[in-house]
């Protein structure tokens, strides 16, 4: 059995030797679109993270029988073509729940509590020059007693809700599919959630229901003291609209781990907002704790094993 891993650089320094139990393995750090067909060649199994596999590639690689996605999202694969050709597509779920939840609150608390500002105040020498034991240059509020709105109550959304509740917040949620009727937390329609929540945290996949879901009009429904987080997919929020809303101080701030293009384009309006303290952006790292990546590889290996032993 020949296995080709097309973009292992995205997985970082994690042990991939598990795959070698199931066949001859070829590793590539990155693969450009024009290289994909040649690199797959006669392989029966491929492991990808962000490499796109379309109908043309499947037709050019007739031996291909299993596509293992080292991620949860399947939007990089032409699923219809794969089904027609009898090619199995296996993703991985549940591996990054703790990691994404942790980064969600790291970003939120940094924004809310103005940590960068206070750290800068101390390092500037202004604290040592002052007469007071504290500093009131910025005001922050507590999560306790506040409404915490979650868009997308899957495994990650539920864990975020649990942690929010541990802080004393009151979780509510909006189902992007319209099919989630979790009874643990109140379910609101989107506009109601946006109007009433002090934090809005996105943990939804990108699909026809969520693309451009949060635009300028909907951001303006939020409280001016509220925070918007996106740990789902970049295109769920209209980035130009968010930049405009932040410059107009429509909301208190935003935290993003995902962008419409990754890496972020140099002309993205979010790189040029006036008040930098209102925005924290991280380079799609919420999923990359060492534990999450180790579990991800183990689950990919399990998908390969199940296929080989079937």
* Of 305, 307, 296, residue with least CA distance to 16: 296
CB 209 within 8 Å of CB 179: no
pLDDT at position 125? 97
- Is residue 262 part of the annotated active site? The answer reads yes
The active-site residue, picked from 203, 218, 259, 284, is 284
Tell me the domain boundaries of the chain.
Answer: 2-93+290-309, 97-281
Average pLDDT, the chain: 96
Average of per-residue pLDDT across 128-139: 96
Q: Has residue 179 got a pLDDT over 90?
A: no
* Stronger pLDDT, 227 or 182, i.e. the higher one: 227
Percent of the chain with pLDDT over 70: 100
Candidates 3.40.50.720, 3.10.20.90, 3.10.580.10, 2.60.40.1890; correct CATH number of 97-281? 3.40.50.720
Buried b (16+ CB within 10 A) or exposed e, 1-26: eebbbbbbebbeebebeebeebeebe
Both tokens assigned to 232: 């789902």
In angstroms, the CA 234 to CA 256 distance is: 8
Q: Has residue 180 got a pLDDT over 90?
A: no
Would you place residue 73 in the very low, low, confident or very high pLDDT band (cuts 50, 70, 90)? confident
pLDDT at position 4? 98
pLDDT at position 156? 96
Average of per-residue pLDDT across 266-286: 97
Q: Has residue 149 got a pLDDT over 90?
A: yes
pLDDT at position 57? 98
Q: Has residue 75 got a pLDDT over 90?
A: no
Average of per-residue pLDDT across 135-140: 95
Would you place residue 224 in the very low, low, confident or very high pLDDT band (cuts 50, 70, 90)? very high
CB 307 within 8 Å of CB 90: yes
pLDDT at position 286? 97
- Is residue 191 part of the annotated active site? The answer reads no
Stretch (H or E) spanning 172: strand 170-174
Q: How far is CA 21 from CA 71, 187, 309, in A?
A: 21, 46, 12
Q: Has residue 226 got a pLDDT over 90?
A: yes
The active-site residue, picked from 233, 250, 278, 293, is 233
The active-site residue, picked from 262, 276, 290, 291, is 262
Average of per-residue pLDDT across 214-221: 98
Percent of the chain with pLDDT over 90: 94
pLDDT at position 97? 97
Residues 6+ apart with CB under 8 A from 217: none
Dihedral (CA of 191, 193, 196, 202) sign: negative
What architecture (CATH level 2) is domain 2-93+290-309?
3-Layer(aba) Sandwich (3.40)
Average of per-residue pLDDT across 51-74: 96
Q: Has residue 233 got a pLDDT over 90?
A: yes
Average of per-residue pLDDT across 67-96: 95
- Is residue 284 part of the annotated active site? The answer reads yes
Q: Do 2-93+290-309 and 97-281 have matching folds?
A: yes
Query: Would you say the pTM of this structure is higher than 0.85?
Result: yes
pLDDT at position 34? 97
pLDDT at position 87? 98
């Amino acid at each position: 059995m020949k296995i080709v891993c097309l973009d292992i650089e995205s997985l970082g320094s994690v042990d991939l030797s598990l795959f070698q139990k199931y066949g001859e393995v070829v590793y590539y750090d990155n693969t450009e679109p024009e290289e994909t067909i040649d690199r797959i060649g006669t392989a029966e199994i491929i492991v990808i993270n962000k490499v796109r596999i379309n109908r043309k590639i499947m037709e050019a690689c007739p031996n291909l029988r299993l596509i293992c996605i080292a991620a949860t999202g399947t939007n990089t694969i032409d699923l219809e073509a794969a089904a027609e050709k009898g090619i199995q597509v296996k993703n991985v779920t549940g591996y990054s729940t703790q990691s994404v939840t942790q980064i969600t609150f790291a970003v939120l608390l940094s924004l809310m509590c103005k940590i960068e500002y206070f750290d800068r105040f101390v390092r500037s020498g202004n604290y040592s020059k002052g007469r007071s034991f504290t500093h009131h240059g910025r005001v922050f509020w507590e999560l306790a007693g506040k409404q915490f709105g979650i868009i997308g109550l899957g495994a990650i959304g539920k864990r975020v809700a649990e942690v929010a509740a541990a802080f004393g917040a009151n979780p509510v949620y909006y189902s992007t599919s319209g099919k989630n009727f979790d009874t643990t937390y109140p379910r609101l329609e989107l506009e109601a959630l946006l109007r009433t929540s002090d934090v809005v945290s996105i943990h939804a996949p990108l699909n026809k229901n969520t693309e451009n879901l949060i635009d300028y009009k909907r951001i303006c429904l939020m409280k001016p003291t509220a925070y918007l987080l996106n740990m789902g997919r970049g295109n769920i929020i209209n980035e130009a609209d968010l930049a405009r809303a932040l410059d107009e101080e429509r909301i208190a701030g935003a935290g993003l781990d995902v962008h419409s293009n990754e890496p972020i384009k140099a002309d993205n309006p979010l790189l040029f907002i006036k008040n930098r303290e209102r925005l924290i952006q991280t380079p799609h790292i919420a999923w990359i704790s060492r534990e999450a990546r180790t579990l991800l590889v183990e689950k990919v290996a399990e998908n390969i094993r199940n296929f080989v032993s079937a």
